[in-house]
Structure 1
Amino acid sequence: MSFDRIEEKLSILADAAKYDVSCSSSGAKRTNATKGLGNATNSGICHSYTEDGRCVSLLKILLTNHCIFDCAYCVTRKSNDIKRAAFKIQEVVDLTINFYRRNYIEGLFLSSGIFKSADYTMERLVQVAKKLRLEENFNGYIHLKSIPGASDELMREAGLYADRLSVNIEIPTISGLKLLAPDKDHKDFIKPMLKVKNEIIQYNTERKIIKKTPRYAPAGQSTQMIIGATGESDRDIMYSASHYYKNYNMRRVYYSGYIPISTDNRLPSIGSEVPILRENRLYQTDWLLRFYGFNVSELLNEDHKNLELDIDPKLSWALRNLHLFPIDINKADKRLIARVPGIGMQSVNKIIQARRFRNLDWSHLKAIGIAFNRAQYFIICNSREFNRKEYTADHLKQLILLNSKSKYQKHFDQQLSLF
């Protein structure tokens, strides 16, 4: 096939893949011990990101944008009048190797529209990974999308050659999926997730006995949900994410703001694109659930179904729970310190270590690196309290926002002075 045709396919299928954001590659370790090509490391290979956090260092393409389904939110749906293309298995293998040798990429992220059937499509994805590993001796990172409804046998084989597997649940709730993708069954999304989870558990068990047990999806599995295409609140979204973390051992859940691509009356109108800040707040909430000991009901509830866009979710929680503050930074337990706005987990650990040797004051906390403009209102330490007043939540919120604006304006002015 001519180079021009390959280039045309690449243009079409790389553009169609841009809507999938679940392409982080951290967590895999595939050391090159066979004089093969490339390697994957624990720290991840996605060195370059766009401003909204999307990875740009993988060859990120669809095997095909042909699809048998007609999901209202999807650009590749069968009723959409777009230019169609499909790669052959060997073409994807050759592109990956050639791009890697030119230092354009460090791995492959391969997804696909569903053509003929789930198993037919999944088998072709697996063949790409298998050829790269066995024929090209490629040790770089490979992320394969799990096709909803694929057989257990194919999912097992996929995990033997891919570093990470992911199946997108697409819409946060079952009712939303029925509305926008009536041809799809929620159970088909769950089946490959459960298989991958069980295979990883089995691998970890067997490896304790047999060290040479073939690795299975060393970077785990992830999923992605589209937000804003249906009417789910942030509370609905985070309860759904929490469910997948707890029951399917997800390594990551990704949140992708809906981009208006059609005039279907079931969808938000063209022009009502989900603000990137909403995505950001969901990721912050996700982080609090996974690493800070929060649960969904603390951050989002019946009276507070959606996240505030002007402040982060930890600050929002603290302002609604002022009765818990201020805490004594020299006496409070680790869990409560982690809930102070402006104090991250690295700073929490530094505080716990430092206070073993002396009582901490404001200068110590500033040296540790806490966000003082927020944290100062929620803590006391071994220093004279300065201008501490009985603020209402609204007053305190405005004060912190004002301080933040002043801080960024000062930084901007300093940068401007350099010119």
Structure 2
Amino acid sequence: MDLFEKLRILTDAAKFDVACTSSGVEKTAAPGGIGSAASCGICHTFAADGRCVSLLKVLLTNSCVYDCKYCVNRRSNDTPRAVFTPRELAELTIQFYRRNYIEGLFLSSGVYRNPDYTCEQMIEVLRTLREEYRFSGYIHAKAIPGADPRLIDRLGCLADRMSINIELPSRESLRLLAPDKSRQSIFAPMGQIRDRIQDNSTELVRYRGAPRFAPAGQSTQMIVGATPDTDYQILKLTEGLYRKYSLKRVFFSAYIPMASHELLPAAGTKPPLLREHRLYQADWLLRYYQFSAGELLDEEHQTFNPFVDPKCNWALNHMELFPVEVNRAAYETLLRVPGIGVTGAKRILRARRQSRLDFVGLKRLGVVLKRAQYFVTCDGKRLEGLKITQDSALRALMSDRELELYQGSRRLFQAPEQLSLFGDRNPTQEDLQKCLTGQI
């Protein structure tokens, strides 16, 4: 098989791995070296200076000894197989870089022969790039579950970011669909990488020439929709991963039916892209808006609302906390107002030190008044002429796409009496669901 055919097969096989993000590391080449890494985006995104920055996203091999039922590269699947030698892949990366096609490498692999052998081959690719070609560009490497800890350590010393894919959210799902893997084989190296990163931060303070270990941290990926696991279970696991393993990102991948199995969605089932989107929105709230998983979902409500985003849904279910006075509210309170983001909340804090804010001022600060107007007051006053009804608020909180879905899934709103958002009675989750499904 020629090199081009290998490249075609192994880049196509890598497309299902979405755990790829901005590098999070700033690095320039030493004298005589080539390449650099910028902390702004990678993989077909745009950097802060307008450059399109991309990675060669590829597998070392799609031959795998595991038989994970959801995976297109499982050993029982009849698909073309290919294997790069470490030298081939290193030279390919350098040639692409010199032609300005890429600025870094995203390297993953099927488990070829066994985890240790696969990890050794990946290490050799990175060693060739770093030591022989003196390549200082960004490299994201997938750690192989089950590999020897010493190999994981060596891989982390050569890569900028590492990741280990959890894939399935629960132990039971993993047992049924990926019997060759275990939770321990995934979480043990994840904990090792966390500890090694923490130790390395101390080493770098003490010793100027200490080697850096995965300076951009680690991430993981979970498949959404392949198993019965609920949004609440996935979000709780996500929150636990951030706290316990100090992950930079948790990625969610909507399952695309590629295999026929009684435990998996039937072929032709549409990927749950909206569900994936809601999980990313909730993940953002966990990382930047100081929400907890238990606030967004609970045992009684384990699925995200399809019509409004998690923050808006939370606000509608906690109307007793609103409206808030923008000229006095704390930063943490402002973050929870629909239409006010992290940047907007910081701007409000700065601006109100100089003068009292009104609705015109909020709009100038970048606040989305279409949403925020239902949840804030300025000097104790609401926006003049605002009519506060359940239906008008719901429509204001929806994006154009969400509104289209909403209108297509229910009858026209014909209720003779509309619930007041700020009246004597606060709408409950049941009220919201009835409204969205056209029962009221």
Superposition TM-score, scaled by structure 1 size:
0.91
Shift of 1:42: 2.1
Amino acid at match of 2:277: N
The letter of the residue matching 1:304 is: H
Q: Deviations over 1:283-342 (max 9, x none)?
A: 110010011010000001122211112211100000000111000000111101000001
> Does the CA-based 8 Å contact 2:44-2:55 persist in structure 1?
no
CA deviation string 1:175-232 (max 9, x = no partner)? 1111111121110001111111111000111222222211110110000010100001
Alignment of 1:15-414 (within 5 A): 15-48=12-45, 57-382=54-379, 384-385=381-382, 386-388=384-386, 391-392=389-390, 396-401=393-398
1:373–1:404 Cα contact (<8 Å) kept = no
Indicate how the Cα distance of structure 1 residues 15 and 333 shifts in structure 2: closer, same or farther if over 3 A, else same.
same
Tell me, in whole angstroms, the C-alpha distance in 2 between the residues paired with 1:118 and 1:251: 24
Which residue in the other structure is 1:8 paired with?
5
For residues 405 and 157 of structure 1, the distance between their equivalents in structure 2, rounded to whole angstroms, comes to 47
Distance apart, 1:350 and its partner CA: 0.3
Match of 1:411 in 2: none
- For 1:78, give the aligned amino acid: R
Q: What is the distance in 1 between the residues matched to 2:399 and 2:160?
A: 45
The gaps in structure 1 that reach 5 residues or longer are: 50-54, 407-419
Which aligned runs of 4 or more in structure 1 are off by greater than 6 angstroms?
A: 402-406
RMSD: 2.0
Mind listing any 5+ residue stretches in structure 2 that lack a counterpart?
47-51, 404-440
Q: Deviations over 1:361-381 (max 9, x none)?
A: 011100001111001000001
Q: Which moved more, 1:206-215 or 1:382-391?
A: 382-391
Secondary structure of 1:342's partner?
coil
Return closer, same or farther for 1:30/1:399 CA change in 2, 3 Å cut-off.
closer
Question: Residue 30 of structure 1: CA displacement?
Answer: 2.0
Shift of 1:387: 3.4
Aligned length: 398
Q: Which moved more, 1:33-42 or 1:295-304?
A: 33-42
Aligned-pair identity in percent equals 47
C-alpha distance in 2, partners of 1:255/1:314?
19
Deviations 1:35-64 (A, max 9, x none): 311101222444537xxxxx9821011111
AA of the residue aligned to 1:327: V
* AA in 1 matched with 2:311: K
Distance in 2, matches of 1:402 and 1:10, equals 40
Residues 254 and 272, structure 2, Cα contact 8 Å, conserved in 1: yes
Cα separation, partners in 2 of 1:245 and 1:66, compared to 1, 3 Å? same
Q: Distance in 2 between matches of 1:382 and 1:35?
A: 62
* Distance in structure 1 (CA, Å) of the matches to 2:251 and 2:322: 33
Contact 2:371 2:396 in 1 (8 A): no
1:10 aligned partner, one-letter code: L
User: Is the Cα contact below 8 Å between 2:163 and 2:219 reproduced in 1?
Assistant: yes
- In 1, distance between residues paired with 2:5 and 2:400? 51
How far apart, CA to CA, are the structure 1 residues paired with 2:160 and 2:402? 42
CA distance in 2, matches of 1:41, 1:180: 38
- SS of 2:156's equivalent in the other structure is helix
For the structure 1 residues 403 and 267, does the alpha-carbon distance in structure 2 shift closer, same or farther, using more than 3 Å as the test? Answer: closer
Q: Corresponding residue for 1:410?
A: none
2:2 partner letter = R
Aligned residues of 2:255 and 2:272 also touching (Cα < 8 A): no
Give the Cα separation in 2 of the matches to 1:257 and 1:8.
28
Deviates more, 1:74-83 or 1:376-385: 376-385
